[in-house]
Amino acid sequence: MRKKEIPKIKRRFDRLVSQIILTRADRTCDMCGRKEGRMNASHCVPRQVLSVRWNLKNLTCLCYRCHLWVWHKDPITAYEWFKTKYGLDRINYLKKESNKPFNLDENQVKVIEVELRTQWNLLNIFNQIESE
């Protein structure tokens, strides 16, 4: 894999993860319950940490207001909310995973691609069953 391909791969995975998170949450803010307006797939551990960037346990659906005004401007409140909503086990898991060495090589790209596509397909199957 050439170095210039990496940004394109990251964007592709980012879009897929965002679709999964927003669909999973039915485009509803996990923090305030808002359904209208712009929604974001928000990372608990910052997206610069590649070892958990596309890990679905590291993301939640937030409306623009909660994402900006709580998540980025009040990290203590955001942390407490995340801990209450998802539990300390998830936070500890993310801490552990975020400290693992990570290299975005061809094998890792294939693994991530399969995991995300599988989650996307399962979510779509579930939604089809729900709508019947």
Tell me how far apart the alpha carbons of residues 111 and 55 are, in angstroms, rounded to a whole number: 12
In this prediction the pTM is 0.90
pLDDT of residue 129: 78
Among residues 53, 35, 32, the alpha carbon closest in space to that of 44 is found at 53
Amino acid at 70: V
pLDDT in tens, the chain (132 residues): 788 899 999 999 999 999 999 999 999 999 999 999 999 999 999 999 999 999 999 999 999 999 999 999 999 999 999 999 999 999 999 999 999 999 999 999 999 999 999 999 998 887 777 777
pLDDT of residue 79: 94
Q: ∠ CA(39), CA(40), CA(41), 5° rounding? A: 135
Tell me how far apart the alpha carbons of residues 114 and 110 are, in angstroms, rounded to a whole number: 6
